[in-house]
Structure 1
């Protein structure tokens, strides 16, 4: 309102005095003074008013009473776009929405949460289109910021009043029109309002608390607090067959893509719907681009592939790198440590890193790490195990995060990640009680530790002690190559590593390979260490053993 004041409601009999001598008395009375125009809400219904002081300018036309405004017989649909014709793998999720939003009387609220690009908005749009015939009114609210919510409600007021009081609705302030629309929703039934991409639950509380009927569908990257308002649907990535189908349908039949390559690309993109659609559109619209070419681009230049805008329009904004860049910027404002942790997590294997690995950060309290991980989880950038002890990251989140670092930053972050993991390894790999911990850390060690690092040597020792000679052989081969390149072919460390590789080849079932490796190693040992050196003698003994 402007130029005046409304003095509050009287819940029982009584008298209220307002500015300029305005007064009212009785149950649910309000007093309005000076020039005013807007909506009065007494708790059970809303009414419009216009008050003009003597001698003031011509008043604005008043908004109509909500009781005289109804939705056209054909219904009113206010959606941002048509639903995509390429939509697969979400039938069960649509069924869940349908069951929840028809569960009973009163206002029903359903929140859909998940990682950016997982398909929350598209799911909500599909539901709204599929069920538009069951609602008198369907309205979409871009809800990332509070002012967007208010503007969308004001637009609803103007749409509803277009047939009865268009001038009043046009001249009403955003606040007045938004309040009127909220009052209309509170007094009406048979409507669906979608609040898309809500950033904070507190942005919606002032509105939802005043509604008594209708259906509310919320989408958000934030997975925190929504159970206070209603049920929560946590959207997951697509199944592999659905991901392949989405990719192939986006590319279309004329391209005749290879299904095997499509499955490989779907796996590389982590079955994320936005990334699959982006890749398919880019392949179709880029001359000379095909599945194999895009796969190469994704593996060699992920930043370029994931930031590629297939529509060539900067305002589109719906590409993976940009979606997550916005989220990352918000997280950085709230807690810079969370961004540092995400960069470290991008250096490990995607799944099930024990959180305690991160507790070793220099100068950072464990509680601060836990809080920062909670923030990342609330934005769906990571997933925490039910017990909160392990954390997983989508492989594309890792790729985009690392692609945003300079070479120097990447090297420093990877070095820190390796130090943290090495410090988390148990000291004695041969002790059986340490094996479960080594098993949890193995995929992360293979990802981040240097092949010839002390930590990797410990990991190989665990594999040998636990009888996994095949994996030990694979990692030892990388160790030998690294030592050969770093120290030279005849350095003692390189020769010892070659001896171990030969022995574990035999233990892994390749006796002939072990024999041949020892046969090549013995003359080198004799020349470098002498014929009577213990290492030379062991090499001869093992040559005889594996020769049978």
Structure 2
């Protein structure tokens, strides 16, 4: 019991009582105090759309053929004058150009909207982070809120305003966006997805994006390579199943090596070029075709810059977008020049997309790499490298040091992706990483994610060390918290 002289009393463990208090009282382990000036955190309806609101990850490809009708359909649907939120979904195989359609629409129709905001929506975690970032952009004071509260603030802002375009890229689970779509009453939503389901039930007008025709594929190859061998271009296009990403990869290889398209076509017919494809299921023609292209590219990279291939294999285990570039420098033992050279080569082959601070790779590239072993038998397993990389990169004291929270937010999608790729891991380093992740998420109010990651950490620890090991008790304690 705590007693204040001639004042109130409080009973119970770690209780406090005060007569007059001019400051803060905390009896918790992870308490946070934030000072805001009166009125600093405005309600969503009080915040007008800022001029030039724009968050689109990159410019669209300059060579973009065979999509005129799709672009018209998207533009017309989103230009509808009817009231309420208007949604459009663009579905199709990975690499067919769904994201390019969204990029081209955003840039071509930018003046139609009061603002354009792009969110990577391949997981619930990334959706929350993307909408929280919108809240932070609109009202900087929302940075004091946990991400889930900032997401709710952004959703409320979308409800109270009109004229915006929200792009949700690569939605995997329609349930992730169902509440969002049901809670907004105006604006425009453009969804890209590999899921070919009945999106009309979610209020979206669906468009199915198919591969190119032969003529369109030939045109793309000839324009991209600046070569006019239509016979060779037709042969390459035939072999690659007219998949835009595969054609883009082929053109990048041809341009980098300054070879005729006919020579590239001959190499595709060489069965040795497909040795890395053993893990790909038969019958997936377009996917098998694109992996053949990447097999050729990896073979060339292994000769010219083997470090680039090692980096690419590690990137395959992380989230596809926004990998901090300093992680790549960590993979090269702090050698910035080596890291930059390797990334430059990967970009020249269209195997990675770079900006000043991040690296992105295509999901299908990642899938192929996870299914294939590195050519060098002396290379450490890439998934183990990815685990060690993130374990080293995360800041200490995730629950109590606010200075490390922005870094945690940047790394959280990659920790989630890595864990999803390794559902049966018994790596105790991964368990330690997940325990720390759960502590961070708990402090941010992300309780469902914290429970999931703490449960995974417990399962790994028990499988690796047995149920009686002291580390199991630590994992149980974190899960109980």
Deviation at 1:323, TM superposition (A): 5.1
1:258-288 CA-to-partner distances (Å, cap 9, x unmatched) read 122112211221111111111001110125x
Q: Secondary structure at the match of 1:84?
A: coil
How far apart are the structure 1 equivalents of 2:250 and 2:33? 58
Partner of 1:305: 293
Matched, 1:121 2:91: no
How far apart are the structure 2 equivalents of 1:197 and 1:82? 17
Partner of 1:240: 214
How far apart are the structure 2 equivalents of 1:311 and 1:276? 11
Which structure would you say has the larger Rg?
Answer: 1
Deviation at 1:100, TM superposition (A): 1.3
Q: How many residues align?
A: 268
Partner of 2:263: 293
1:439-476 CA-to-partner distances (Å, cap 9, x unmatched) read xxxxxxxxxxxxxxxxxxxxxxxxxxxxxxxxxxxxxx
Deviation at 1:320, TM superposition (A): 5.1
Q: Secondary structure at the match of 1:204?
A: helix
How far apart are the structure 1 equivalents of 2:367 and 2:264? 20
Q: Does the 8 A contact of 1:111 with 1:218 survive in 2?
A: yes
Matched, 1:200 2:180: no
Q: Secondary structure at the match of 1:205?
A: helix
Q: Does the 8 A contact of 1:306 with 1:319 survive in 2?
A: no
Q: Does the 8 A contact of 1:109 with 1:231 survive in 2?
A: yes
Q: Does the 8 A contact of 1:306 with 1:320 survive in 2?
A: no
How far apart are the structure 2 equivalents of 1:114 and 1:189? 29
Unaligned runs of 5+ in 1: 1-19, 21-51, 329-548
1:226-269 CA-to-partner distances (Å, cap 9, x unmatched) read 121221100111122211111122213xxx34122112211221
- Correspondent of 1:92 among 69, 76, 90: 69
Q: Does the 8 A contact of 2:351 with 2:361 survive in 1?
A: no
Matches within 5 A, 1:348-427: none
Q: Does the 8 A contact of 2:94 with 2:363 survive in 1?
A: no
Q: Does the 8 A contact of 1:257 with 1:291 survive in 2?
A: no
Q: Does the 8 A contact of 1:77 with 1:137 survive in 2?
A: yes
| C-alpha spacing 1:179/1:327, structure 2 compared with 1 (3 Å) | farther
How far apart are the structure 1 equivalents of 2:243 and 2:121? 23
- Correspondent of 2:56 among 57, 79, 92: 79
How far apart are the structure 1 equivalents of 2:146 and 2:138? 16
- Correspondent of 1:318 among 356, 359, 362: 362
How far apart are the structure 2 equivalents of 1:280 and 1:286? 10
Deviation at 1:191, TM superposition (A): 0.5
How far apart are the structure 2 equivalents of 1:324 and 1:316? 15
Deviation at 1:55, TM superposition (A): 4.2
Q: Does the 8 A contact of 2:171 with 2:192 survive in 1?
A: yes
How far apart are the structure 2 equivalents of 1:156 and 1:327? 36
Deviation at 1:194, TM superposition (A): 0.7
Matches within 5 A, 1:91-490: 91-103=68-80, 104-161=82-139, 166=140, 168-229=141-202, 230-252=204-226, 256-287=227-258, 289-300=259-270, 301-302=273-274, 303=277, 305-307=293-295, 308=297, 310-311=349-350, 313=352, 316-318=360-362, 321-322=365-366
Unaligned runs of 5+ in 2: 1-9, 11-21, 27-31, 278-291, 298-345, 354-358, 373-481
| C-alpha spacing 1:298/1:318, structure 2 compared with 1 (3 Å) | farther
1:297-331 CA-to-partner distances (Å, cap 9, x unmatched) read 22221445334261465954338553567799xxx
| C-alpha spacing 1:136/1:122, structure 2 compared with 1 (3 Å) | same
| C-alpha spacing 1:297/1:322, structure 2 compared with 1 (3 Å) | farther
Deviation at 1:292, TM superposition (A): 1.9
Relative contact order, higher structure (CA 8 A, sep 6+): 2
TM norm structure 1: 0.46
How far apart are the structure 2 equivalents of 1:299 and 1:312? 22
| C-alpha spacing 1:316/1:284, structure 2 compared with 1 (3 Å) | farther
Deviation at 1:206, TM superposition (A): 1.8
How far apart are the structure 2 equivalents of 1:200 and 1:231? 17
1:340-389 CA-to-partner distances (Å, cap 9, x unmatched) read xxxxxxxxxxxxxxxxxxxxxxxxxxxxxxxxxxxxxxxxxxxxxxxxxx
| C-alpha spacing 1:298/1:133, structure 2 compared with 1 (3 Å) | same
How far apart are the structure 2 equivalents of 1:131 and 1:184? 22
Deviation at 1:200, TM superposition (A): 0.9
How far apart are the structure 2 equivalents of 1:157 and 1:63? 11
How far apart are the structure 1 equivalents of 2:370 and 2:85? 32
How far apart are the structure 1 equivalents of 2:101 and 2:122? 17
